[in-house]
Chain A
Amino acid sequence: MGKVIYMFIFLYASLVCQAQFSAMTGVNFCKVRSSYLKNDRAAVGFQAGLSIAYHPVKNLKVMSFEHELLFNYKGYRQDLDKNYNLYYGYVSGSFLIKFKTGTIVHLRTGLELSELVYASVEDRYDTFNKTDLGVILGISFFESKPVSFYIRGSYGLLPMLDYYDIDAYGAFHGKIHDIRNNTLSLGIKYNFIQL
């Protein structure tokens, strides 16, 4: 309920401040960071959602804040005796600071908080940690036009897995906190209201 109220208040405040409301979709190129996964490979997913950007300071047009609410579909593959594919979905909320560097290019950076809502392997949904926090760094083009393009990287900070460290001989070496998301996204935005 708190999240709904927050979103409503934010939407109202954004509109009062003449915000830019956008819908966005893109391709996720995912590669996890892991010290324990065997033969892991990259996987391709997607993202889709909404964003709202506004100037926090009226006369400071080179900087804006941006909030996003996305569904992120990510995953990874393992090539062992056969191919094992694992995909999972997050609902992500991000807070970004956007800098206008020229008439065409914007840079953005910020944080993305994600909640795991789906896994293609049902057991993994129960096994994996439900929350991820990532650092976002990106660049976008033609933000003042109805259609713009973006490239962004997301660097996951929190481990997806808490598990036993067991070697081939059955000896336990404590617990591991492993598998972190790295994602490169390429996408387009449809900007409904212009700043």
Chain B
Amino acid sequence: MKHFYSLLFSFTLVTLFVCFSCTEDYVSDPLDPRLVMYTEDGSDVAGAMFNDQLWTSVLNVEFLFGGYIDEPKIRSYPSHDSIVLVFEGQMENAPSENYDIEFHLGDVSIDQISDMTSLNQRHILIDGLHNSCHVTGYTSGVPASQVTGHLYFRKVTPETMSGTFYVKIGEVMEISYGRFDYRLSVIDLDLR
């Protein structure tokens, strides 16, 4: 019983830490107020236009027991010589559904979060071969070679990651004016 309460207390502490540490700082773009303003401050936001529809990032809390999680806005899964960046978001006209943008970067060698600074000022070409992009609801059934674009890490510091992106999915979807600005941290959740 004592062990159970100790576990429950630890779980609650982690929950509170994650919830109160995760606040978005959403500022609309001064030229196009539909979009989020581009910043390099670790504002924990992302935004883009899916054709004419507005997409913005959402705040989710996720727990992986016995695994690794990072700040809830981005999930990074180091796997030897590649990483996966996931921007979780919603469409303005469908707020109850999640539309995630996933970048699988095979040419990036990241073993720990401090290696992220190697991405600073780096343009990564999305070609469907070495680097690919998957978008919920839009890329399933589309050949990877027809999902192209680029991801630009304009400023990456040990604490923040900011940049822009553009993706074209065949002839049906164009993701433009993409921008992101996130804080970087890792939470190692290991409940015994």
Q: Do A and B come from one complex?
A: yes
Interface residue? A78 (CB, 8 A) = yes
* Residue-wise interface mask of B (134-156) relative to A, using a CB-CB cutoff of 8 A (1 in contact, 0 not): 00000000000000001010100
Within 8 A of B (CB), among A156-183: 161, 163-164, 166, 168-172, 178-179
Q: Shortest beta-carbon distance, A181 to chain B, in Å?
A: 15
Give the contacting residue for A170; candidates B27, B31, B52, B166; CB below 8 A: B166
Interface residue? B30 (CB, 8 A) = yes
Contacts of B28 in A (CB 8 A): 121, 123
Determine if A170 and B32 form an interchain contact, defined as CB atoms under 8 angstroms apart: no
Q: How large is the interface on B (under 10, 10 to 19, 20 to 34, 35 or more residues)?
A: 20 to 34
Give the contacting residue for A127; candidates B27, B49, B177; CB below 8 A: B27
Give the contacting residue for A84; candidates B33, B152, B176; CB below 8 A: B33
- Number of residues in A with C-beta < 8 Å to the partner? 24
Interface residue? A117 (CB, 8 A) = no
Contacts of B150 in A (CB 8 A): 169-170
With A81-B54, A127-B37, A164-B38 known to touch, is A170 a contact of B165 (CB < 8 Å)?
Answer: yes
Give the contacting residue for B177; candidates A121, A124, A161, A166; CB below 8 A: A166
Instruction: Report Cα–Cα, A171/B176, bound state, in Å.
Output: 11
Determine if B31 and A80 form an interchain contact, defined as CB atoms under 8 angstroms apart: no
Instruction: Report Cα–Cα, A169/B175, bound state, in Å.
Output: 9
Interface residue? B178 (CB, 8 A) = yes
Within 8 A of A (CB), among B35-76: 37-38, 49, 52, 54
Interface residue? A192 (CB, 8 A) = no
Within 8 A of B (CB), among A118-160: 121, 123-124, 126-128
Interface residue? B104 (CB, 8 A) = no
Interface residue? A36 (CB, 8 A) = yes
Determine if A166 and B179 form an interchain contact, defined as CB atoms under 8 angstroms apart: yes
Give the contacting residue for B178; candidates A36, A124, A170, A179; CB below 8 A: A170
Within 8 A of A (CB), among B111-159: 150, 152, 154
Q: Shortest beta-carbon distance, B75 to chain A, in Å?
A: 22
Instruction: Report Cα–Cα, A36/B177, bound state, in Å.
Output: 14
Contacts of A15 in B (CB 8 A): none
Within 8 A of B (CB), among A30-55: 36-38
Instruction: Report Cα–Cα, A36/B164, bound state, in Å.
Output: 19
Interface centre among A121, A161, A170 (most CB of B within 10 A): A170
**What residue in chain A is nearest B29 (Cβ atoms)?**
A163
Determine if A78 and B154 form an interchain contact, defined as CB atoms under 8 angstroms apart: no
Instruction: Report Cα–Cα, A171/B163, bound state, in Å.
Output: 10
Instruction: Report Cα–Cα, A16/B154, bound state, in Å.
Output: 62
Interchain Cβ contacts under 8 Å between A and B, 18 examples: A38-B32, A78-B33, A80-B32, A80-B33, A81-B54, A124-B30, A126-B27, A127-B30, A164-B38, A166-B179, A168-B49, A168-B176, A168-B177, A169-B166, A170-B150, A170-B152, A170-B164, A171-B152
* Sample of 14 more A-B contacts, CB < 8 Å, known A123-B27, A170-B163, A170-B179: A78-B33, A80-B32, A123-B37, A127-B30, A127-B37, A163-B30, A163-B31, A166-B38, A166-B164, A166-B179, A168-B166, A168-B176, A170-B152, A178-B31
A contact set with B: CB distance below 8 Å: 36-38, 78, 80-81, 84, 121, 123-124, 126-128, 161, 163-164, 166, 168-172, 178-179
What 3 A-B pairs are tightest by C-beta distance, nearest first?
Answer: A170-B164, A168-B176, A123-B27
